Amino acid sequence: MTGPMIALSALLSHWARHRVQAALLLIGLALATALLTGVQAINAEARASYDRAASALSQDKLPRLVAERITVADYVALRRAGWPVSPVIEGEALIGGQTLRLIGIEPLTLPSGVAPDIGLAGDPTGFLTGKVILSAEALNDPRVRPAELPPGVALTDIGVAAGILGPEISYLLLTGDRPAPPGYALIHPATTDLSQLTESFHLNLAAFGYLAFGVGLFIVHSAIGLAFEQRRGMFRTLRALGLSARALTGLLLAELLVFALVAGAAGVVLGWLIAGALLPDVAATLRGLYGAEVGSGLTLRPVWWLSGLGIAVLGMLASAGQSLWRLGRLPVLAPAQPRAWGRESARAMRGQALAGVGLIGAAAGLLAVRGLWAGFGVLAGLLLGGALMLPLLMAALTRAGQRLPDTWARLDAGDVFINEQLALRRGLAPGDRVEQGVIAGIYPDYGNPMPQVILSWDRHRALYPLPVLRYALITDIPAAEIRAAFPRVVVEDRAAIRKASVAVFERTFAVTAALNVLTLGVAALAMFASLLTLSSRRLPQVAPVWAMGLTRGRLAQLEFLRTLALAALIYGLALPLGLALAWVLLAVVNVEAFGWRLPMLLFPGDWLRLGMLSLLAAGLAAALPVHRLARIAPAELLKVFAHER
Partner 1 sequence: MNVKAIMLILMACAVSAPASGQGFAGLGSDAGGFEMPRPGPFDFPADHGPHPTFRIEWWYVTANLTAADGTEYGAQWTLFRNALAPHEAGGWASPQVWLAHAALTTATQHLAAEKLARGGIGQAGVTAEPFGAWIDDWELSDHMAARGEGFAFDLALHATGPIVAQGDGGYSVKSAAGQASRYYSQPFYAASGEVELDGKHVPVTGTAWMDREWSSQPLAADQTGWDWFSLSFDDGARLMGFRLRGATDFVSATWIGADGRPEPLPPGALRLTPLRSTTVAGREVPVEWRLELPAKELDITTRALNDHAWNALSVPYWEGPIRALGSHPGRGYLEMTGYGGTK
Q: Which residues contact partner 1 by CB under 8 A?
A: 72-73, 75-76, 79-82, 105-113, 115-118, 120-121, 124-125, 127-130, 157-159, 162, 167
Q: How far apart are CA 551 and CA 45, in angstroms?
A: 58
Q: Residue 289 CB, nearest distance to partner 1 (Å)? A: 30
CB of 64 to partner 1, least distance (A): 18
Q: What is the DSSP track for 373-390?
A: HHHHHHHHHHHHHHHH-G
Per DSSP, the residues of 472-500 read ----SS-HHHHHHH-TTS----HHHHHHH
Residue whose CB is less far from partner 1, 176 or 553:
176
Tell me the residue ranges of DSSP E strands in 184-306.
185-187
Beta strands in 375-460 (DSSP E): 416-419, 433-434, 437-443, 453-454
**CA-wise closest residue to 526 among 129, 217, 148:** 217
CB of 75 to partner 1, least distance (A): 8
Name the amino acid, one letter, at 395: A
Q: What is the DSSP letter of 87?
A: E
Give 59 or 614: the residue with its C-beta nearer to partner 1.
Answer: 59
- Chain Cα centroid distance, residue 295: 18
DSSP 8-state secondary structure symbol assigned to residue 598: P
Nearer to partner 1, 167 or 544 (CB): 167
Give the list of residues 6+ apart from residue 249 with CB closer than 8 angstroms, or none: 324, 327, 328
CA 345 – CA 339 distance, rounded (Å): 9
137: part of which helix (H) or strand (E)? none
How many angstroms separate the CA atoms of 351 and 356, rounded? 8
Q: Of the two residues 149 and 269, which places its CB atom closer to partner 1 in the complex?
A: 149
What's the min distance (Å) between Cβ of 127 and partner 1?
A: 8
- Cα–chain center distance at 108: 42
Least Å from the CB of residue 157 to partner 1: 7
**Which residue, 116 or 150, has its beta carbon nearer to partner 1?**
116
Smallest distance, partner 1 to C-beta of residue 26, A: 51
Q: Nearest approach, Cβ of 155 to partner 1 (angstroms)?
A: 9
Return the HEC string of 285-343: HHHHHHCCCCCCCCCCCHHHHHHHHHHHHHHHHHHHHHHHHHHHHCCCCHHHCHHHHHH
Q: Least distance from C-beta 144 to partner 1, angstroms?
A: 17
CB of 130 to partner 1, least distance (A): 7
Q: Which of 296, 285, 298, 293 is nearest to 100 (CA)?
A: 293
